[in-house]
Chain A
């Protein structure tokens, strides 16, 4: 009796779990996994336009990794993704943490600032990219402002100089998305038990030691989320550079990232090239594999250092 009712309960529990998980998995399978599996299989074939040719094994991978000019293009784009990730992680998310702390301290008007910091996030990337492209124009807002305050020598073609173009894109991207990590951090801070903070204050802890000893360790779950999403976002970065610098990663590859590179390799660029599905797919497999392995490793590692409370 007891065992049969237990078995029945276990059965019910299994059914219940399956019912919860199945719809999501089905949708993912239909719209993502089945198509992507066939797409990834493309990477081991030769392609003529959209027509599949002979099986070529790993030749496409060898081409994009080692044969020139692809090898140096791949490396160049990868290097830029690393720069983008590190810069966004440090500058955008660091500033976001600071903003979150400022909001957390609830100075006068904090609710208003909380609303405004998120306004750019809701704007379309098409809009933001286009807006900043016009601002960075040699005759645009940024240079008009610089000239107005007498910094004429700084009024340069921001998107045209190889040394500033990537930085300009990252800044625009930061403007666009900083509200997101800010609010994630703020949410994390507000979940810290009040007594911990009060106790630290009682002990005479200053801002710095409060942040270092209590807040930073206790917002670790938020950091995990921010870190992993930033990592994935940085290596799939496409819309912003596409709108602002074009498919070529102008000027001469200074803003080229893997997303752009993969896209124009696979689909071609209307004003310069035809697509090659085999090479494009090989790149996609490499990007996908790299991001999957790294993101999984980061998540596992970071989750371990989170503190339960």
Chain B
């Protein structure tokens, strides 16, 4: 559905608008300043960071970055993280939306129970299950594989995907669906061509909500991945944080490099993302 570009919410008094504006500017500064410090510090030596965090660094000083790229398998870790997170996002969005659609649009007896089962998955302390999980993954040959992680993260992303999608799908009006049904459209057809296109904002929310922790997780890769060239970025990151713990310059360079890919993706997609997330899909 096309995003409505609307009038602002009524005519606001000048002073209210001023305060809201000030709030937003203050917030933006607060959000960006630490990130700026992180990037700037990546160009400083530890001693410089230590004495003062202010002022412009020498942006031609790539020594810290060179150390990180030379001493770690950074690019390999990055590729692994992309594969694992990408696979998991496809997994939980597909299965999660399917289940949520059934739960939100059809009345059936087991429905509430199934929803509860999914929700329970949101609260389980899965770290505790690491040993049975290990045994089970090993039995299926999934230890030390990226596929094992993809499956696991798909499962971990499913509950909140179902939660968010069910909530959203439930608010879609019935008339569209009913008129399509009267026209003789099959249920899969209704779902695919009529309802799903309306769910984009919720899909984006569910994707981001789960992709971020998936991208960030370091516990399960630590336990399940043993071979260096299958390690994920946060797993590699914890390794080099131990190694460079007293070299703040290199640390900031490492943090900057690891934040860079997902930040670039976000900035490139921000227009679609934000409008997808907030456009009034319902009118």
Contact = CB atoms under 8 A, between A and B. Distances in A.
- Mutual binders A and B: yes
Given A111-B274, A121-B208, A229 B160 contact: yes
Contacts of B188: 16
A63 interface: no
Contacts of B163: 225, 228
A16 B133 CA distance: 31
B182 interface: no
24 contacts: A16-B187, A17-B102, A20-B98, A20-B99, A21-B99, A24-B118, A27-B155, A31-B155, A32-B155, A105-B20, A108-B21, A109-B24, A113-B24, A120-B31, A120-B34, A122-B212, A122-B266, A124-B215, A126-B238, A180-B209, A191-B282, A284-B125, A288-B123, A295-B119
A193 to B, nearest CB: 8
Interface of B: 6, 8-13, 16-17, 20-21, 23-25, 27-28, 30-32, 34-35, 37-38, 50, 52-54, 91, 94-96, 98-99, 101-103, 106, 108, 114, 116-129, 131-133, 136, 151-152, 154-156, 158-160, 162-164, 167, 171, 187-188, 201, 205, 208-209, 212-213, 215-216, 218, 233-234, 237-238, 241, 248, 251, 255, 258-259, 262-263, 266-267, 270, 274, 277-283
Contacts of B50: 139
B34 A28 contact: no
A31 B220 CA distance: 12
Contacts of A287: 125
A59 interface: no
For the residues of B in contact with A, the DSSP-based class is: helix
Given A99-B27, A122-B266, A239-B216, A130 B128 contact: no
B35 A120 contact: yes
B155 A123 contact: no
A50 B128 CA distance: 12
Most buried by B among A16, A17, A118, A183: A17
B155 A110 contact: no
A219 interface: no
Contacts of B160: 229
Interface string A25-39: 101101111111011
A175 B128 contact: no
